[in-house]
């Protein structure tokens, strides 16, 4: 007997707009998502993951992996799931390969965006669940934005080998923000995922990010120069109605079959949540 369920992925932009994000995630759950993968999870005055679960109710649980840094460098990933459908059996917290340093152009781009211009430790979290007497593994990850496709493929290859050498599962899902900015990068993603038996359940979705939605505030850079530059850039984006859209987020599946996928055009982050309905 085949079983149908839905999984979502959502980069929540450093948890900057918690009220909107919590309501958006409640909407995703109400639309039938059984598991929700989050990226750019960050502790602020209130920890958004606690706010989300309080909103979703007692049937929802979570696991997360963030750093101990006292700034945005601590951001990481999480998985939320409906425990009336999925029963957790194990969790892995995985550090992805980190760059030793940024090249000059990447450092400049990072500083323009309000960041420190230093390599960041990327993290992912992977949990296994019992699902209708089968084992399913769900992984939430966020690959480097800097270092180009070579660095991202290095991180992805490391993760896929790590999972391959872990316990065997019947079904597998890897979802998150792959930062696939480069022109032919999707083909490289397809090649490496197909090597490990995965397919893209979201291939019908054309974009998942819009720069028009970026919140330029509070990136850990408190300099007057950055705040002025951020204000100018944001005003320019809004006045000229700039909408640079790109597909950065994916849901890859193994041993499962896609039914349909959608982008939910909910505002609250620079990314939109993606939802895939799949069957065993």
Beta bridge partners of 176: 141, 250
CB 102 within 8 A of CB 119: yes
Contact 276, 6 (CB under 8 A): yes
Average pLDDT over the chain, rounded to whole? Answer: 89
- Closest to 8 in 3D by CA, of 204, 249, 184: 249
226, pLDDT greater than 60: no
Question: Which of 187, 95, 91, 179 has the alpha carbon at shortest distance from 139?
Answer: 91
Res. 233: pLDDT tops 70: no
**Domain-wise residue ranges, the chain:** 4-97+120-217+244-279
Residue 238 is predicted with a pLDDT of 60
Q: Which two tokens stand for residue 27?
A: 């909407």
Q: Are 199 and 253 in contact (CB under 8 A)?
A: yes
**Per-residue pLDDT for 104 more than 60?**
yes
Longest distance between any two alpha carbons in the chain, whole Å:
61
Query: Bigger pLDDT: 49 or 117?
Result: 49
pTM of the model: 0.91
**Half-sphere exposure for 89 (CA within 13 Å, toward CB):** 14
Better-scored residue on pLDDT, 226 or 202:
202
Which residue did the predictor score with more confidence, 78 or 46? 78
Residues 119-158 pLDDT 10s: 889 999 999 999 999 999 999 999 998 888 999 999 999 9
CATH 2.60.40.420 fits 4-97+120-217+244-279, yes or no: no
3 state SS of 135: strand
The pLDDT of residue 181 is above 70? yes
């Amino acid at each position: 007997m085949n079983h149908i369920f839905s999984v979502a992925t959502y980069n929540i932009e450093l948890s900057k707009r918690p009220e909107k994000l919590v309501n958006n995630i409640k909407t995703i759950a109400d639309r039938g998502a059984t598991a929700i993968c989050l990226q750019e999870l960050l502790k602020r005055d209130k920890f958004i993951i606690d706010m989300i679960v309080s909103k979703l109710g007692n049937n929802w649980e979570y696991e997360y992996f963030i750093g101990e840094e006292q700034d945005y460098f601590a951001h990481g990933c999480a998985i939320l799931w409906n425990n009336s459908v999925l029963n957790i059996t194990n969790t892995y917290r995985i550090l992805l390969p980190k760059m030793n340093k940024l090249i000059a152009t990447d450092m400049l781009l990072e500083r323009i965006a309000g960041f420190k211009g230093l390599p960041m430790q990327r993290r992912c979290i992977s949990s296994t669940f019992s699902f209708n007497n089968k084992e399913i593994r769900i992984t939430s990850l966020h690959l480097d934005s800097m270092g180009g496709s070579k660095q991202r493929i290095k991180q992805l290859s490391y993760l896929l080998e790590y999972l391959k050498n872990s316990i065997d599962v019947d079904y597998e899902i890897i979802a998150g923000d792959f930062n696939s900015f480069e022109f032919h990068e999707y083909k490289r993603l397809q090649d490496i995922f197909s090597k490990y038996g995965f397919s893209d359940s979201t291939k019908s979705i054309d974009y998942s990010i819009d720069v028009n939605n970026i919140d330029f505030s509070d990136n850990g850079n408190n300099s007057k120069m950055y705040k002025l530059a951020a204000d100018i850039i944001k005003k320019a984006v809004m006045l000229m109605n700039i909408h640079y859209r790109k597909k950065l987020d994916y849901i890859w599946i193994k041993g499962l079959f896609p039914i349909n996928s959608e982008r939910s055009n909910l505002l609250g982050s620079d990314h939109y949540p993606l939802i895939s309905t799949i069957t065993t």
